[in-house]
Amino acid sequence: TSRYARSIEMHQRACQVMPGGVSSPVRSFKSVGREPVTVKSGQGAMVTDVDGNAYIDYIGSYGPLILGHANDTVLAAITKAASRGSSFGMPTEAEYQLAVKVIEAVPSIEMVRFVNSGTEATMSALRVARAATGRSKIIKCIGCYHGHHDSLLVEAGSGCATQGVPSSPGVPSDTAANTLSVPYNDAQALEAVLDANAGQIAAFILEPIAGNMGLVLPREGYLAKVRDLCTKHGVVLIFDEVMTGFRVAYGGAQAIHQIKPDLTCLGKILGGGVPCAAYGGKRELMQHVAPQGKMYQAGTLSGNPLAMAAGLATLEQLQDGKAYELLDATSHSLALGLELQAAKAGVPIQINRVGSMISCFFTSEPVHSFEDTCRCDTKRFTTFFNAMLDQGVMLPPSQFETWFVSLAHDRQAIERTIEAAGIAFQAVAESAGSEKISQS
């Protein structure tokens, strides 16, 4: 603990003035049984804590930092924008420029509205769907997290999965009653719910590639079937690409799978590490948004110049496609190395990966749904996480989060991570062995 003395002290102080000492639940490190590390700075693939410990970072602010920490071009763009003013509450040219970039990149988006967070984006997209259809009910997938607004904190994943709270106190039951849940990757379940509620469903919202229960990939044909069912029932299909947008490909998961949703939610990478998100889609749907239409949504800091500048600087560096080839190759070697080290230690794991998103599940069975993730051994993950941290590798502090690889992760960083994993998997094997002995 002396290695983390200042972090522990900082956390204890923070707990006096902030709930759990944090601004977001998963940051508390509660599910891995320790105090959180307090970060002082980041550079490239590394972060340094207040005690001076350096770590290879796979949190990457939970997705936005695809270029790594403190990218020179992004920093220069933010600095230049800030020197002209940080917020105006009036239109700027940069908003138009980023809107054009988004529309060019994402196959299904014809018009876009900027907001400040993924939560705002999904909340607003659902309101558009309800305004356009005149219907109240929505469907989501069990274990998929779409932000913390009332109608979506039902059977939610991510921090909720970590905390063991499937939905939250403080959400009125009549709000939750309009939200129906189906398992991810189960088109038959979706069809049954649509049939049973014919003419009542405004929208089906899902992560086309789930990232908030750990990384779970869509089965072959699942997204195409979802698209067909929503079209048949007049239901607005919303892809939550807050995590996958500009991450798995420049055009997001919909570009990979060639499925066009009606509305798309974006965030994270879109703002280049500064708070920013957006929702967009078909012109006929987006024309419902005020002032063009009657569906009200607003935000004082929406489209603020710093976020627009950071977003433009980030997307410009990702545009040529080579970035994604490099990310894929780097992540592929990381996944192979992890599999090899786990096999050596005799620890059963499942690795799910798409591009630069990876999850290492402590289970011997393939993971295709939230139910599958719930069978993972969280004790083993905790042992693994702590052993990696002690060796200078920072992973998301939950079995139910996704790791993010950035363009700043070079061969040396990957080799060091794989080496650390060998020791960590060994620690898992030893703790599993001692557990068996104590049980007998």
Question: Which residue from 61, 216, 227 is spatially nearest to 145, judged by alpha carbons?
Answer: 216
The burial of 440, by beta-carbon neighbours within 10 Å (0-12 exposed, 13-18 middle, 19 or more buried), is given as: exposed
Catalytic choice (137, 140, 268, 282):
268
CB 113 within 8 A of CB 266: no
CB 429 within 8 A of CB 347: yes
CB 280 within 8 A of CB 288: no
Catalytic choice (55, 58, 62, 145):
145
Catalytic choice (49, 57, 240, 372):
240
Residue 47 is inside which H or E element, if any? Answer: strand 46-49
Packing angle of the helix pair 322-345, 305-318 (nearest 10 deg): 80
Spatial distance between the Cα atoms of 156 and 152, rounded to a whole number of angstroms? 7
Q: Are strands 236-240 and 179-183 parallel, antiparallel or unpaired?
A: unpaired
Beta bridge partner(s), residue 245? 249
Q: For residue 222, indicate whether it is catalytic.
A: no
DSSP line for 258-323: T---SEEEE-GGGGTTSS-EEEEE-HHHHTTBTTTSSB----TTTT-HHHHHHHHHHHHHHTTSHH
Range 339-348, long-range pairs (CB < 8 A, 24+ positions): 340/418, 341/418, 341/421, 341/422, 341/425, 342/421, 342/425, 344/422, 344/425, 345/422, 345/425, 345/426, 345/428, 345/429, 346/429, 347/380, 347/425, 347/428, 347/429, 347/432
Which residues are CB-contacts of 334 (< 8 A; sequence separation ≥ 6)? 358, 405, 409, 414, 417, 418
Instruction: State whether residue 113 is helix, strand or coil.
Output: strand
The burial of 16, by beta-carbon neighbours within 10 Å (0-12 exposed, 13-18 middle, 19 or more buried), is given as: exposed
CB 119 within 8 A of CB 147: yes
Spatial distance between the Cα atoms of 363 and 346, rounded to a whole number of angstroms? 12
Q: For residue 240, indicate whether it is catalytic.
A: yes
Neighbours of 423 (CB within 10 A): 14
Residue 353 is inside which H or E element, if any? Answer: strand 350-354
Q: For residue 40, indicate whether it is catalytic.
A: no
CB 38 within 8 A of CB 32: no
Report the catalytic residues: 145, 240, 268
